[in-house]
């Protein structure tokens, strides 16, 4: 009999930083670095068994902010790129009995990395649920090879702010390619990133580049992805956008 996870808690800490907690383990995704006057999400200390890094920019790769839950141990660090950011470092890692983490090679721009370098898409697989974090994806579309490598996903964490990533129209097209049940926007302008040249808003948009009526504005920074996926599936909808609220 196939084991199914009961819950998978996702928490958004701003920008592209999340934690996934399930099966007794916590994964920290793309932890950011505070920069005075530029990037002012609060300095945080995360506790996690595993850290995944999509690329090496300061707002995605603060390993010093993560500690292991057990004193004396260090988190398992899974980098999608080499330390210098110039080459891919493919990941296919089992964590515990239920979690598998994979990376898929991608680009930070639309010209195969010539402008902004490389990016790694991370796929987190557990029984009955698969999540893709697109990192700073800059491509206008995913290739057939990338789509095959990613596979079917239930949830996509997608950058929507543009400038450093693909424009929103391209991200919507990529979401259409992946066709998940749920899309969670990330990497957009908020009150904490006012000086970054990215687009966005400080509140959940009613119409600003989002596809109503499939938009939910949640008042929490964390959700149970298992429960929400079941809810969306039962409603027969796909590509439902869930905006999480940053809680300081």
Domain that holds residue 146: 9-243
User: What sign has the CA pseudo-torsion 57, 26, 103, 155?
Assistant: negative
Q: How far is CA 220 from CA 5, 27, 54, 94, 217, in A?
A: 22, 19, 25, 30, 9
pLDDT of res. 161: 79
Percentage of the chain beyond pLDDT 90 is 56
Specify if 195 maps to a domain.
Answer: yes
Q: How confident is the model at residue 15 (pLDDT cuts 50, 70, 90)?
A: confident
Q: How confident is the model at residue 85 (pLDDT cuts 50, 70, 90)?
A: confident
Residue 10 pLDDT greater than 80, yes or no: yes
Lowest mean pLDDT among 73-77, 109-113, 122-126, 144-148: 109-113
Percentage of the chain beyond pLDDT 70 is 92
pLDDT of res. 159: 93
Lowest mean pLDDT among 67-76, 96-105, 187-196, 236-245: 187-196
What CATH code is carried by the domain that includes residue 229?
3.60.15.10
Specify if 227 maps to a domain.
Answer: yes
Mean pLDDT of the chain: 88
pLDDT of res. 1: 43
Mean pLDDT score, 96-111 = 91
Instruction: Report the largest interatomic distance among the alpha carbons of the chain, rounded to a whole angstrom.
Output: 53
Write 141-146 long-range contacts (CB < 8 A, 24+).
Answer: 141/170, 141/173, 141/174, 141/177, 142/106, 142/174, 142/177, 142/178, 146/104, 146/105, 146/106, 146/121
Specify if 1 maps to a domain.
Answer: no
Alpha carbons 52 and 21: distance in angstroms, whole number: 13
Owner of token pair 């902010």: 65
Specify if 40 maps to a domain.
Answer: yes
pLDDT of res. 188: 85
Specify if 88 maps to a domain.
Answer: yes
pTM of the complete model beyond 0.85? yes
88 close to 105: Cβ distance less than 8 angstroms: yes
**Number of domains forming the structure of the chain:** 1
Specify if 148 maps to a domain.
Answer: yes
pLDDT of res. 26: 96
- Convert the pLDDT of each residue in 162-212 to its tens digit: 777 888 899 999 999 999 999 999 988 777 777 777 777 555 665 455 546
- Convert the pLDDT of each residue in 47-79 to its tens digit: 999 999 998 887 778 889 999 999 999 999 999
Specify if 3 maps to a domain.
Answer: no
Specify if 2 maps to a domain.
Answer: no
pLDDT of res. 203: 57
């Amino acid at each position: 009999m196939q084991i199914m996870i009961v819950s998978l808690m996702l928490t958004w800490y701003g920008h592209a930083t999340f934690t996934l907690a399930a099966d007794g383990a916590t994964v920290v995704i793309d932890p950011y670095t505070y920069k005075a006057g530029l990037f002012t999400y609060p300095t945080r200390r995360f506790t996690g068994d595993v850290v995944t890094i999509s690329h090496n920019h300061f707002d995605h790769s603060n390993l010093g902010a993560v500690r292991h839950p057990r004193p004396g141990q260090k988190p398992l660090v899974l980098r999608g790129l080499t330390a210098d950011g110039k080459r891919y470092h493919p990941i296919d890692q089992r964590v515990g009995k239920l979690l598998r983490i994979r990376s898929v090679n991608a680009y930070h721009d639309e010209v195969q990395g010539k402008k902004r370098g490389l990016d790694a898409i991370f796929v987190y697989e557990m029984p009955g649920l698969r999540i893709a974090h697109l990192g700073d994806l800059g491509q206008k579309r995913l290739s057939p090879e990338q789509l095959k490598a990613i596979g079917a996903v239930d949830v996509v964490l997608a950058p929507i702010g543009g400038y450093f990533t693909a424009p929103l129209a391209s991200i919507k097209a990529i979401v259409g390619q992946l066709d998940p049940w749920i899309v969670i926007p990330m990497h957009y302008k908020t009150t904490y990133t006012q000086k970054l040249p990215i687009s966005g808003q400080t509140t959940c948009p009613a119409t600003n580049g989002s596809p109503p009526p499939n938009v939910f504005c949640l008042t929490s920074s964390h959700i149970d992805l298992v429960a929400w996926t079941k809810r969306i599936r039962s409603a027969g909808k796909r590509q439902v956008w869930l905006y999480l609220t940053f809680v300081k």
